Every structure is written in C-alpha cells, then in structure tokens.
Structure 1
Amino acid sequence: MAAPAGAQGKPPVACADFYGNANATWLQTHPLAAGQGSVSAMGELGGRARQQQIDLLQAAMQSPQGNVQKLLGDFWASGLDEAAVERDGSKPIAPLLDRINAIRRSKDIAPAIAALHQVGIPVVFNFGADVDLSDLDRHIGYFSQGGTGLVDPAWYSRDDEDTRTVRTQYGKYVEQILALTGTPANKLEAEAQQVIDLETRIARASRPLQDLRNPRNNYAPVTVDGLDRQYRNLKLNEFLQVQGVSDDTVSIANPALFAELDKLVDSLKPAQWKTYLQWRVGDAMAPYLTKSFRDASFDFRGRVLEGRSAPAPREQQVLDAINLAAGPMLGREYAARYLGADNRARAEGIVTQVKATMRSALERNPRFGDQAKAVALAKLDNLKVAIGTPSRELDYNVQPMGRGSFGGNMLIASTWRHASEMSRIGTADNRRWGMLPQTPALAYDIAQNRLVITAAMLQPPAFDLGKDDAWLYGSFGALVGHELSHAVDNRGRLVDDKLEVRDWWTAHETNGWQALANRVAAQYSTLPYPSLQGVKVNGQQTVDKNIADLTGMELAWATFSAAQPNANRQTKESFFQGWASLWAQQLSAEAATEQASTSVHAPGQWRTNGPLANLDAFGATYGCRVGAVMRNTPDNRITVLP
C-alpha cells in the first residue's frame, strides 16, 4: 500500500483511494466547523442515538406510558427547569451534609463512608461488582483505590511546573466547593489544605494507574469473615451490610492501602474527615446543582483537566446525568421504542452466517495446532449472542421522583442504580452488559464469551435495512467478524472455552501470531496519517485492531460470497461501499495529532483501504492493476484466514 494519489478537488478513483472515492459526497458535505476537532459517520450514529433519547424523554415528560416512563419524564423535566434548580440551591445535599456534620468521634467516620457509598457517592475508596476471575460466571465485590478528586495518584507527587499549576488550581476549586457547602470564608484556605493533605496520603498509598490496567493486578480474593479484625476502624463488614452485600468473598488487591486508610480513620481528627467528606459530596453533586456549583466544577474539570472551552448544552448535561444514574431505565424504554423486530432478526441471521464462516476458517487454519484449534472451535460453538438489551429485568420500584428537585432525583436514581449493581455480587448474573442499550456498541465480551450488540447500534451506517444485503454484509457483517476475531486472538487466548482464565496458546500459536503481527505492523507503518505532514500510522500501536479489521473483512466477504455466489459487479461494489461508509471522518490537525499518539485504531482512511488493498477480490471487482494502491502485490498481500 502506498499513499493515495487523487486529483485535487476531484474524487479519487477507486483504485487509488477507495475511501475517498466511496465517501466523496460525505466528505464534501461534512466540513469541519471552526474549532471542531473531528466529525465522523460513526460519530453521527452516536449523535442520532442521543437525539432519539432526548425525543423519548420529551415524550415521557409530556405523556408517560407506564411507571418507568413516569420516573424518566419527571427526572428529565426537573433537569430542564433551571429556575427550579436555582431555587433548590444546595437543599438536595443538605441531608448528606447533616449526616457528615453529625460526626463527633473516629468511630462515626466509617458509618458515614458507608452511607455515602449507598447513595452512589464513593468516598475514601471504590467498591463495585465485577466478574470473579476464578469463576467468570459469577460476580464478587471489589474494594479498590479511589477517593481522591484527582484520579491519577501521580498528580499528588509529581513536581514539574505543569503539575504544580494544576494542583494550585485544584486547591482553588476545593475552596470554591467548600464555600458553596457552608465553610466560612476565613477557614477556606486551611480546610482546603486539610482536604488535599488527606487525599495526598491516600494517593501515596495507591498504585500507579498503569499497574491497574491488568485485571489480575486488581484481583485478590479474601474472605469477608475477619475483615473487621484486620481493618477495625473502616468496619468493612458493616460497610458490606449497608450496601446489601452478603457474599462471603471480596477482592482487596491493595491491602496496604486499606491498612493505611484504617490507620487514618483513627489518627486524623474527625474534623478533617468531616471537611474531606463535605468536599467529596459537593464535588460529586456539583454538576447537578445550581449554576454556581456547575460553573465551579466545569472551570476546573472541564477547562483545566479536559481542555474544553464551554460546557455542553443543558439538554446534553441532563441526558448525561440520567444515563449515569438511571441508564438501565432509559435503555429499557429506548429498545422498546427504537429496536424493530426486523432489525433484530436480520442482525441475528448475519451473526449466525459469519460464525459459520469463521468456524470453517478455523478448521483449516494452519496457525492453530490441534489442541488450540479445539479450544477455539469450542469457544465459537459456545459463543452467546446478546442483541438489543440485557435479558435481566431490574426492579423498578423506585421512590417517586417528582419534578421539584433535579439534585434530589439524581440521588434517588443513583441510590437505585448502586443497589442494582450491589445485587449482582455473589450471583451468576452474566446478563449484565458493560454498556447501555442506548449507546451504539458492538463488542466481544471476553469474560462471558459473548457478542453484545446494543439496540442503538442497529441503525446506519452500521446497520441499514434500506440498503441491499451486500451492503449489510460489508458493513455490519464485517464489524461482527472484527469482534468475533477477538475470541481467538492475542487477547482471546487468555480465556478458554470453559471461561477459565488461562493462556491456551502454545508456542506454535504465539509464533504464528507474532509473525502475522510483524507483517501487519510493518505494512501500516508506511501509511501517512491524514491531516498531518510527515507523520505515519503507528503500526505497533494499532496492530491488534488492524488484524481484527483484516479478519472481519475476510470473514464478511466469504460470508457474502457464500450467500450470493453469482453476485454481479454492482452488487459486489455495494459490499465494499458498505465497509467504506463506516469510516468516513474529518480530523483537525490537533485531533489527528492526539489520535496518532493514543488511538489503537488506524484513521478512517486506512481502516477502509488497509483491509481492501489486501483483499484481492476488491481489486478484481474494480479492475485495479496488481501493484496499484488498492491492490497489493502477492508478496505484500496479507491474508489472515486460509
């Protein structure tokens, strides 16, 4: 592959740059607006899903159908009524602040910590439900690090000028929130310093973020019996009871951190703990309270930490809040309204076909020895497919929200969602997803050996029943193939067909993968990065996703060819156009620079052209000469599947 060569101002020919050729109209009609970093076809899918959620909430506000819509409609109305939010002031958090102010002695601190977790405000540490790595079919509770306003512990210890500047701005933000939650002006500086002192102690006992990226580093099961003897001041047994957790095992991967927290509960004055908890409540709830709270939060978290110039429109802010606290409620109603039976049935049919194609390819794949091949085939045969929404039905008996207090509704909803999460602990609740149905996503869940396709994903450009079957295979079918490949790739090797965490590859599979990865990385590393001068795609950084794209395209093409063996040229072209339509994007130089250094995906141009230049059927369909940009020579052509 080489860089595309098209005439300036004209759509490039298919054999020079199929991405630019197939997406010419889209690229022309989607210029970047001033200050806009990027725009993409898949981003438009996300925007459409957001608007659908807003439309649903508007309808629920005006004429709700059922209890869940009544809850959602009231939540939405309370958030849009900014005058009511201003009148409400800090009343929603007054009971929480009163609870904190009631602390008199060290023994009062642990119950206050547990009470705040119960309403969805994690303080001091994090506690959540996740899969048990010793038994992927069940969930346990994970005690993990958290409790600081700056998520990365390194912010509290680095001494470079930029970090010191951020810490100074952070201190001012802490002062603002303390002032808004009742601290007198003459005590602000001293009490803000108390907060930062306590958080610094937590950060020093925490692990670097990079050490937490491996799930194994976060997993250390211990029996619940005896926790109170080990951590007498944190009272973790009582904490679990308050959260409604009765399982006999939890994970504490950093016992030294919890030993330090336990010591701090006893050694620091209760007044310092009260100030810290007051700050954490104010910070957590600031986006849902009056404008003074919201502005303070955005000025630091939005402008300083995220580099944003302005807050999102009010509708988006309220929608984000509802998804955070009541996302499963909204997902239930979203799927009922927007997921048609025809879409679900057609999606299931394509998944079944691509699976069958993949099985045949695995059976004859020389990169897998007999033992590994047996595991790979069993994983594929055991694969679960979940489309639309999780099958789990939650308990929607929630305290009525009403329309008078957005902050109050936020606490009601987050308390409900926290309880829903806690109910998973100690159960085989593999029906839960890691994403919401109203969020466009198509993903392979390695822990459950499951393909998850959300309701929001089954719409253009990923899934368009208005197009012919060839287009569907080229778009949706290729995405399915991409994700299924993760079941047996360099990541899927870590979980076997029985959902046991182990590496089921031998040296044969490892060597075969490495040889493939080296070729793919070298090929993509020659490609120029769009919008940037002198910058190439990072082939090593993107190699796993590039292999998945190559695999997905090969699987989709084989599936399509089997379904329509006599397809004419126009039909075949529709298949490839479906693939290209997924990746249309415009990037500013700033956005391209960031993505080039951080993204595990190649830019849209090469997600389109990379796999197609390696698929000889593309060049044959469009009549490209061998050696053209879009038809690699045999010695440079990479084939993942036999």
Structure 2
Amino acid sequence: MTRSALLAASALTVLLAGPAQAQQDDHPCLDEQCTLVSIVGRDGSATTQSTGLIQGTEAPSFGTWGFDMAGRDTSVNPGDDFYRYANGLFVDALEIPADRTRYGAFDMLAELSENRMRTLVEDISQETGLDPASDEAKIAALYDGFMDVERIEQLDDQPIQPMLATVRATSDHAAMAALMGQSMRGYGRSLFGSFVNDDARNPEVYEAYLAQGGLGLPNRDYYLEARFADKLAAYRVYVEQMLTMIGWADASTAADAVVAFETRLAQAHWTPTQSRNRDLTYNPMSVAELQAAAPGMDWAAFLGAAGFGDHDRYIAIQNTALPAMAQAFAETPVGTLQAWQAFAIADQAAPLLSQRFVDANYGFRLRELGGQPEQRSRERRGVAFAEGVMGQPLGRLYVERWFPPESRAQMEELVANLRAAMAARIATLDWMSPETRAEALTKLELFNVKIGYPDQWRDYSGLVVMADDVVGNQMRSRAFEWDFRLGRLGGPVDNDEWGMTPQTVNAYYSPTKNEIVFPAAILQPPFFDPDADPAVNYGGIGGVIGHEIGHGFDDQGRKSDGTGALREWWTPDDEARFVAQTDRLGAQYDSYEALPGFHVQGGLTMGENIGDLAGVTLALEAFHLSLDGQAAPVIDGTTGDQRVFYGWAQVWRAAYREARMQQMIATDPHSPPQFRVIGPLRNVDAWYEAFGVMPGSAYYLAPQDRVRLW
C-alpha cells in the first residue's frame, strides 16, 4: 500500500512525516530516528558533540531564553532567506550521522525519545521474575529475541520458508487473491490495501476501506518518471537479489516480470495529489459492485480471506484505479504473481532475518532510496522493533518517568489561547459569509483536544510473544492488530483512541473525530520550554497548535463539519473565494525548488502549507492576546513579534541527504523545512514589519499578493 493511501484512509493529518512513514508501510521501523549534532547551551553558545548523537535522557535547551541566537546567519537579509537568517550557522555546522538520512529539531527529540526507550527496554530486559503474561515480559522477549544474533543466523531464511511454500503452491488467480487477503494479517503484498476506520460520512461508525497498493517503491513516480530511472534500475537488481537469496527459480527473469507488473500497476495508480482529495476518495461499493467495476479480481476470495466475512460495504479510495489494476492482475501469469508475492515476503521479513538479508534490505531501502551510508546499531534497531510492537505499554512507562503533569496544564492554557485567536479571526474574516462563519465557529467550538497520553491504555494480553521466534512475533503482532481493527467493523467509534504513542515527536488532526492531538514527547524544547520566553513558546508549540487547528480548516479538513462528518457546509461563493486563495498559495509553493529538478508540489503539500500559514498566524495572534494589552519586553534587542517568528523558524532547522529529499518531494505531503519557514512567513504582514523586509528582497510579496486565509 502506498503512504498516501494510508494517510487518506487513516484520516490523520500529521505535523511531520515521521521515520516510519518515510519508508514503505510494509517495513518495520528499524531504520532511523535521526539526530542533532549541535546543542545550544543556556549561555547561548553552540557546542558540537563528537558522536553526533544526543547523549542520555535529558531534554536539550536553547540559548538563555529559548532561542539559539548563535545559530543565526545575520549576513543574510531576512527577506532573502529567513530560514538561513534564523538558522544558517547552525545548519552549516550540521553533520548528518552516517546511520541517518535526516537531521533536525524534530529528530533531536526523536533521538531523545529513542534514548529513553532504550533505557526502558534494557532495564526491563535485565529484570528477573517477570510475569510471562505482563507487558514488561513481552517487551523483554521482543528485544531479547531480536538481539539473539546467533539463533537468527542459524535460522537464516527458515522462518519464511513455510510462507514461501504456500506461495509456490498457489496455482490460480483465485487462490492468489485469497493469499493477498491473508497478507493483511502478516507478510505479503496486496494490490488493494484494506483498512477499518471511521466512516468519513458517518464518523460514529467504523467502516471498511480499500486503497490502491501493490508497489514495492515509494509511489508511482518511481516507476514512471525519468528522474527516478536509477532508482527503478536499482530496485530491479534488488528484486533479483532477494529472489536469488530465497532460492527462487530463474530469479533474473522473475525480477524483470515483477518490475514490469508493478510498473503496469503504477500506471493505473492515482497521483499523491489526487489521493488526498476527500471529495473523490469516498466511494462506497458492495462486493457485487466491486466485481462489476473490476471483474479481473476475485473480490469474494480476497475479502473473505482478509476476514471480512459477509460484510458488504467498502469505501473505495482510488476507485477509478481499481479496474485497470484488477485487469493487470487477471492478465499477469500466476508465476509472475508468485514471484511478486515471494519477493514481498522476503523484503518485509529481511530486517528480522540473518545478516545477509539485513544487509541486502538496508542496501536498497535505506542506502539507495534514502542515502543512508551506514546501518543503525543492532541495539537501536532492537529497541525500535520492541517499540513498534508494544508502543503503548512503553508509552505508559515513558509518561510515568518523563512527562510532568504541569506540562499538560500549561498546554491546555496555550490551546485555549490559540482557539480564542482562531475564533477572533473567523469572526472578522472579510471573505466569509455569515452562514459559513456560523458553521466554522461551531466546528471550532466542538474541537476535541488530547494532550500527552491516552486516558485508557491498550490491552495486549491477547498478544503472544516468544523470545526464540522474532519473525513469528512480528507476524503475530500484525495479526493481533488486524484482528483488533477488524473486530470493530460496523461498531461505534472509540473517540478515546490515540493514533500516536506518547513518545512520538509529532502531532495530528483527525477530521473524522475533529480533534487535535499532542503526544507528550513533542512538549519539550525547542517546541515547548517552561523556562523559555513566552513569545518563543508561542512561535514553537503555539505554531504547532495553530497548525493542527488550521488542518480543521485546510483544503481537505474543511470538508468535515464539527461532528467530523464529510459534508458540504460552505456556501458556493465562500468555497470559490477560498479555492481562489489556495490556488495562489499552491502557485507559490510550485515555484520553490528544493533540488535541481525537484520542485515542491503545491497540490500535494497544500494541506500542510495551509496548516503552517494558520499556525504562525494564530501563534502571533495568541501571543498578542496573552499580553492582555501590555507591551512585550525587548530581550537581547529582539521584539516580541521577532521572537515568535524566531520560535517558528527554529523548530524547522534540519538537513537532509539528497536521496531522502528526492523521496520527500515525490511522496511527502509536507514541504521541505526551509519552505515551512519561508513559505508561510512571506504571507504574514507582521513579519515584514518585524524584520523590515522591503521590496527587492527575494521573497518579498506585495500586500495584494499575500495569501490571507485564516
């Protein structure tokens, strides 16, 4: 399944695509959490750690009042490149560690979370007398099993041979369709990703979704665009390598056929930009309608094997892609489908198999596609594996040790201020009619807010974990998760559920739940620091809060009402005015070139760009409201407004390897970090005033050309 399909189906709009999302969804998160090399001390001086890693479990600090003044490049005109003006010297000093593809402010906190997870996991692993049924015992077994290198090497590919034997015994297309359905509970690939999620038009009930899938590369562009020809060629070599390693007959010919088959699927796939249009991606169909629309697929066999039973309503996301994909399936020889499925099993299991498989998988997935020069240490990959299976239990331990209750209280106050700022802006928008304004204010009032961690923790008592069966542990985990989701089909939506663990450095908005969620791990510097100047906190975590609120009113989130239901609540004239503004914003981002030949896709990144513009706008407004009529102090020669903009810029400082940036441009709904700073700020009047940006500056926009949404 493609990443865009996953995001469309899960109805989550995240602040930043995390490490797991940067890879294929099929793969365990064993690759990267990224790091920061430089940390700025309280005295404002910048220091560089020789290892390139954050040491220990203590949160960093920035400058004397929350911003790294020493990291600026004041030789740059703020209007020519505010990202460099605020972060340039810091970014110049960055050295991406060899086992990373990306490095930045988000990643520093991700590294901190990883260090804390490692402390928890290794402490648990050393405990004796654990109850075998406890979460702690399962965490220990996951980690210990992954670290048992001797046994893993002895087993080599034995753990997946029974699955490969099943593939070899699959003799016709109907049986292959059933095998794809069974892959929902374990290893393997399917043409159609299946999900159980909130029904977008009836968000109180869980419904089944179907999305385009079947590709082994990040998305269709990697098969169809000349700029990715080298990646496609490397992928074909990798397919042959994996098939050879598992003893597949005539691996070279099979690899050619597999890549040709996936290329045909890619030709049918929707683009990432098309896949995020919620007006086009809600297409309920019965099994009979699916069979009539895409007769090349045995839908009853596929859905029955996936466990849907007699369920007869499926929301097809990329509905017009299904017929061509089903036809490609029907016209492809079973032998090719067998090789395609066998490769997928080996590819997905490879990080948990012997070193030869680990090395092959790393060589393509991380070194070739991401530009990562070295593998991560086994200990770090082991912790990531345990966390991937038992993220919530580890999150509970994380919260107990590292999340102070006062942080939750302070966040509640910040959120209230940002909501007040949004309400004030909606009330005074000159382009919105009274009818739409009333609905928008109602939606804002109905926003649910989750901070830190869930009130109810997930029960893992039904998950079986064995220290001597690392591949089996992942298989059982996937089946456990699939059965959990499937068991809720048709039932009431659990509005208390979280889509992220507390230790995740991210935030999200769910349009079907109309909620904004802020995990504990993001509530740390540079986003939130109780000791920092309030203006910097408003620019940092305030901008994040505003970003997520903005998602409720971006080009796709706005289509759900206050109850989360996907329906038309805008007047036609208001919608036309909104679209005219977003078209202008999209054109701005289309003009940004992150790498030669790799322009930002304004349509793909539209929702996040609107979120960023809303975030910085609301952060500034809320900061002003918090002053209660008083003047903001001047600190180290900086005004309050300047510090808000500095706070926003500081959270996006980052460096990417070229291959990873190429992948981001092609697949990610977020703009590259420099344009998350420059893009929104050049549309904010107060930024021009704060830094004296005048006509002639590279990113100057005349007042009439600035996009004004929320």
TM-score when scaled to structure 2? 0.73
For 1:609 and 1:189, locate their aligned partners in 2 and report how far apart those are by CA, in whole Å.
47
Q: How does 1:52-451 map to 2 (within 5 A)?
A: 52-63=116-127, 67-103=134-170, 108-150=175-217, 152=219, 163=229, 169-183=234-248, 187-192=250-255, 195=258, 211-224=274-287, 234=298, 236=300, 239-240=303-304, 243=307, 247-252=311-316, 253=319, 254-257=321-324, 260=327, 263=330, 268=333, 274-322=338-386, 324-390=388-454, 393-427=457-491, 428-451=493-516
- AA at the equivalent of 1:294: V
State the SS of the aligned residue for 1:555.
helix
Query: Deviation per CA, 1:584-606, whole angstroms, max 9, x where unpaired?
Result: 34578888898789885364487
Supply the distance in 2 between the matched residues of 1:276 and 1:24 (Cα, whole angstroms). 46
**Does structure 1 residue 463 correspond to structure 2 residue 463?**
no
Query: Which of the pair has more CA radius of gyration?
Result: 1
Q: Does 1:40 align with 2:108?
A: no
Aligned AA for 1:143? L
Displacement after TM superposition at 1:355 (Å): 0.7
**83-92 or 140-149: bigger deviation:** 140-149
Distance change in 2, residues 1:119/1:551 (3 Å): closer
Structure 1 position 583 matched with structure 2 position 633: no
1:601 aligns with 2:665: no
Hey, what's the Cα distance between the residues in 1 that align with 2:210 and 2:574? 36
Displacement of 1:369 in angstroms is 0.5
Q: Which moved more, 1:232-241 or 1:50-59?
A: 232-241
The one-letter code of the counterpart of 2:204 is D
Q: Equivalents in 2 of 1:512, 1:627: separation in Å? A: 27
Query: How many positions carry a matched residue from both structures?
Result: 626
Q: Cα distance 1:71–1:595, how it changes in 2: closer, same or farther (>3 A)?
A: closer
Task: Give the letter for the 1:560 counterpart.
Answer: F
Pairwise CA distance, 1:456? 1.9
Shift of 1:291: 1.4
3-state SS of paired residue (1:137)? strand
Q: 1:379: Cα distance to partner? A: 0.7
Matches of 1:406 and 1:343, distance apart in 2? 37
Quote how far apart the aligned CAs of 1:86 are.
Answer: 0.8
Worse overlay, 227-236 or 438-447: 227-236
1:370: Cα distance to partner?
0.6
Partner in structure 2 of residue 492 of structure 1: 557
- Residues 275, 12 of structure 1: CA spacing in aligned structure 2 closer, same or farther, 3 A cutoff? closer
- The CA deviation at 1:375 is 1.1
- Range with bigger deviation, 384-393 or 371-380: 384-393
Taking structure 1 as reference, are residues 260 and 393 closer, same or farther at Cα in structure 2, changes over 3 Å only?
farther
CA deviations 1:73-119 (Å, max 9, x no partner) are: 22122223322321221222233234345546776545544433322
Instruction: Indicate whether 1:478 and 2:543 are aligned.
Output: yes
Is this contact kept in 2: 1:90–1:290, CA < 8 A?
yes
Q: In structure 1, what residue type is equivalent to 2:538?
A: Y
Which residue among 558, 564, 569 is the counterpart of 2:627? 564
Determine the C-alpha separation between the residues in 2 that align with 1:306 and 1:592: 8
**Once the 2 structures are TM-superposed, how far is the Cα of residue 281 of structure 1 from its aligned partner?**
1.8
- Taking the aligned partners of 1:82 and 1:418, their CA distance within structure 2 comes to 29
In structure 2, the CA distance between the partners of 1:575 and 1:300, relative to structure 1 (3 Å rule), is closer
How far is 1:365 from its partner? Answer: 2.0
**What is the one-letter code of the residue matched to 2:549?**
L
Residue 294 of structure 1, CA deviation: 2.0
Whichever residue aligns with residue 445 of structure 1, its letter is S
Contact 1:613 1:629 in 2 (8 A): no
Amino acid at match of 2:671: H
Deviation readout 1:297-320 (Å, 9 max, x if unpaired): 333334444444433333443344
- Does the CA contact (< 8 Å) of 1:145 and 1:257 recur in 2? no
Quote how far apart the aligned CAs of 1:396 are.
0.7
* Amino acid in structure 2 at the alignment position of 1:562: L
State yes or no: 1:555 paired with 2:629.
no
Q: What is the distance in 1 between the residues matched to 2:71 and 2:340? A: 60
Question: Does the CA-based 8 Å contact 1:546-1:602 persist in structure 2?
Answer: no
CA contact (8 A) 1:614 1:637 kept: no
**For 1:609 and 1:203, how far apart are their aligned partners in 2?**
31
Q: Give the conservation status (yes or no) of the 8 Å contact 1:440–1:454.
A: yes
Distance 1:152 1:525, change over 3 A: closer
Q: Tell me, yes or no, if the aligned pair for 1:470 and 1:575 is still in contact at 8 Å.
A: yes
Deviations 1:282-333 (A, max 9, x none): 2221222111222233333344444444333334433444455554454444
**Structure 1 gap ranges (5+):** 1-5
The separation in 2 between residues aligned to 1:538 and 1:272, in whole angstroms, is 34
Q: Answer whether contact 2:392 2:457 (CA < 8 A) is retained.
A: no
Distance 1:523 1:7, change over 3 A: farther
More helix by share: 1
1:3 maps to none
Say which SS state the counterpart of residue 634 (structure 2) adopts.
Answer: helix
More divergent stretch after superposition (451-460 vs 629-638): 629-638
Classify the secondary structure of the residue corresponding to 1:570: coil
How far the C-alpha of 1:491 sits from its partner, in A, is: 3.2
Distance in structure 1 (CA, Å) of the matches to 2:454 and 2:279: 26
What TM-score do you get using the length of structure 1 for normalisation? Answer: 0.79
CA distance in 1, matches of 2:709, 2:270: 41
Structure 2 residue matching 1:387: 3-state secondary structure = strand
C-alpha deviation, 1:371, in angstroms: 0.8
TM-aligned CA distance change 1:86 to 1:225, over 3 Å: same
The offset of 1:356, in angstroms, is 1.9
User: Residue type of the partner of 2:625?
Assistant: A
Verify the 8 A CA contact 1:613 1:630 in the aligned structure 2. Answer: no
Q: Determine helix, strand or coil for the equivalent of 2:555.
A: coil
AA aligned opposite 1:486? H
Q: Which letter does structure 2 place at the counterpart of 1:611?
A: L
